[in-house]
A and B are shown apart, each in its own frame.
Chain A
């Protein structure tokens, strides 16, 4: 018989997939994977600060991810160091800071593995509320700014000339990514959370001919990966987070068999 904790895990995973699906598309379209990785590295510091300040760890993770996203946007404006190098520095600095703070806290040390690799089977009612609220906000924000987001994805200057508030839309996208990372880390852990965001999106590419189709397909693949991964982990007694990412990766590999739809009827 299916236990309650398993149903909560399923619901939490599906909720996270709803948020991660469309955001993941923008991450692969705009090459933001490095951004996502940097945000994920801040998770540990968030958890530690949450314990220190006695607030729910997932809320602290939220706060620290949003703060880091804001820092990255501000630091991006300087011209002295490339964004990639900057992300590398910041990501590992916040990760190291997280490890140092954790080392001072006896109680937290045992849970470290859970944050690194996720603990989907421990998803509680409060987590579920937070995951579904996040998913609803993310989807509503994407729908509201969809045209502007696509516009800056294709070309920022063109979007700016056409009246899109480029900086604000970009900040919104990074905030949404930070929110997805914060809830996704509960599902598959900080080491694999970026995979939860980009693998379904990448797998959806060959199934879509419009950006909207790709966002929907990405969400569907994310949900399928969560469900198959969880049942797989139950069946063969393997860790749930890695199982979910493996299923998504397998779908990606299979998607490469779908032929590319190019400019039909025209010889190049």
Chain B
């Protein structure tokens, strides 16, 4: 992989740095020589088709899956808040939302109230966990991650089960959380339109890293086009032109980089 090119990357030390990560399930290479660097205050989105290894890469970053080769370094003392893709809920376990939220660590009532208000889940806090809707669950999972006061927020498909009208709200919420908490965010998402609107870095994964960089440059990358098709590439490129700014590490809007095309960094071997 080429050295980091933008000045922004040089400024902040990496929170998580994975180098040459390979994960094999049996004979299948789920991740093949993947490099990824996450820096403070950055919103990074992992995109890719089903089976591209997105969730596996997330689990490697979290330290749940040990890579077969390669190394993963986390900043010392880094606290990670995690919202899993699936949370199996069953009526057989009597547990309220409040109890679920304080299961990871006890939270003082004032802190709990603030976080609940932030994610908009204060009205459901005394409901049974098994009975809230998918969209409500996403907010509750986000709240549990935030209660840890994370330096890095890892959200696997945070829009899954959320109805279309609330998806925009939730995405804005995630973006505003980065601004308020100053944490980095790694997202896995299928919704490319939403991804393009609020992401600093897009990593397109297909077992290896196809391409990575700013959203507007990634959608023009040949491997992106071969994966998602030229039509989507065009749609998203047009969509991007309506956004003339992006966010810097502190969440402040800055003018979009005109030389974005040079920002595409290629990584990994291509079979």
Contact = CB atoms under 8 A, between A and B. Distances in A.
Q: Do A and B come from one complex?
A: yes
Interface of A: 28-29, 79-80, 147, 150-151, 153-155, 157-162, 202, 205, 208-211, 213-214, 260-263, 266
A202 B93 CA distance: 10
A160 B63 CA distance: 8
Interface stretch (B80-88, B206-214, B219-227): B80-88
A28 to B, nearest CB: 5
B173 interface: no
Nearest to A153: B93
A153 B84 CA distance: 14
A263 B131 contact: yes
Contacts of A263: 124, 127-128, 131-132
B87 A154 contact: yes
B269 interface: no
Interface stretch (B97-105, B112-120, B257-265): B97-105
Interface of B: 25-26, 59, 62-64, 80-82, 84, 87-88, 90-96, 99-100, 103-105, 124, 127-128, 131-132, 144, 148, 154
A28 B104 contact: no
Which of B84, B104, B124, B144 has its CB near the most chain A CB atoms (within 10 A)? B104
Contacts of A262: 128, 131
A157 B93 contact: no
A150 B64 contact: no
A80 B26 contact: yes
A48 to B, nearest CB: 36
Contacts of B148: 162
A154 B103 contact: yes
Nearest to A262: B131
Given A157-B59, A160-B64, 18 more contacts: A29-B93, A79-B25, A151-B104, A154-B100, A155-B88, A157-B62, A157-B82, A158-B82, A160-B62, A161-B81, A162-B105, A205-B92, A208-B94, A209-B94, A211-B95, A260-B91, A261-B128, A262-B131
